[in-house]
Amino acid sequence: MCGNTMSVPLLTDAATVSGAERETAAVIFLHGLGDTGHSWADALSTIRLPHVKYICPHAPRIPVTLNMKMVMPSWFDLMGLSPDAPEDEAGIKKAAENIKALIEHEMKNGIPANRIVLGGFSQGGALSLYTALTCPHPLAGIVALSCWLPLHRAFPQAANGSAKDLTILQCHGELDPMVPVRFGALTAEKLRSVVTPARVQFKTYPGVMHSSCPQVSEQGCAPPP
């Protein structure tokens, strides 16, 4: 990889799927709680486009309040999964800054922001939404799977001015027991108060629990040709 990855800690050991041709676009995908980027890199490698670089960073290992302070990969601490649960504001903001640094690294290496898709699953999807809405660079789009918007009460005021033109695809399993689909619907409603409403697409999937499926990943993780 070109550039100095030492200044971007998330890149030093990220799972990366390189393009088969000259890379002119990128997908940055964030895994969920307790996972790593490897499983998503493997999944994305099966649907990759030749001009796209896929970057799946690993979250740091930290104690997670929701799981009795067990140490596991987590982008930020989680106290609960309800809309009114306390939130790790400092941790969320720090994690978002780390993702923005990764985005800026790719921009410096020749991939413009409007050809970078940011996505994620569960906690990773939540972080992708918060990062994109507060990012000063207009991204190609957001793919948010089975997730929610962290610090939702801060929006729309906390959003960057460029966020209004974001394109957001939200996908949620109708049988999700971890992040119920109604939380996803509430998130979509909030997002439509931040970005141009027609740019938010909320899709639900009958029979799907707290998981993704190849069709969802393939549909969403496709940057401009």
**What pLDDT score was predicted for residue 82?**
84
Please provide the average confidence, as pLDDT, over all residues in the chain. Answer: 91
CATH number of 14-219: 3.40.50.1820
pLDDT tens, residue by residue, 66-84 = 999 999 999 999 998 888 8
**Sequence ranges of the domains in the chain:** 14-219
pLDDT tens, residue by residue, 158-189 = 999 889 999 999 999 999 999 999 999 999 99
Q: How many CB atoms lie within 10 A of CB 197?
A: 11
**What pLDDT score was predicted for residue 47?**
86
What are the residue numbers of the active site? 122, 176, 210
pLDDT tens, residue by residue, 206-217 = 999 998 755 455
* 7 pLDDT more than 90: no
* 192 pLDDT more than 50: yes
- Give the residue-averaged pLDDT of 193-208: 95
- Give the residue-averaged pLDDT of 8-18: 87
**What pLDDT score was predicted for residue 81?**
84
* 222 pLDDT more than 70: no
CA dihedral 21→108→191→151, nearest 10 degrees, is 130
**What pLDDT score was predicted for residue 223?**
59
**What pLDDT score was predicted for residue 3?**
47
CA dihedral 222→193→56→210, nearest 10 degrees, is -90
Confirm if 72 and 43 have CB atoms less than 8 A apart: no
AA identity, residue 84: D
Tell me: cis bond preceding 73? Omega within 30 of 0 counts: no
* 56 pLDDT more than 90: yes
Q: How many CB atoms lie within 10 A of CB 135?
A: 22
**What pLDDT score was predicted for residue 42?**
92
Q: Which of 160, 120, 133 is nearest to 37 (CA)?
A: 120
pTM exceeds cut of 0.85: yes
* 154 pLDDT more than 70: yes
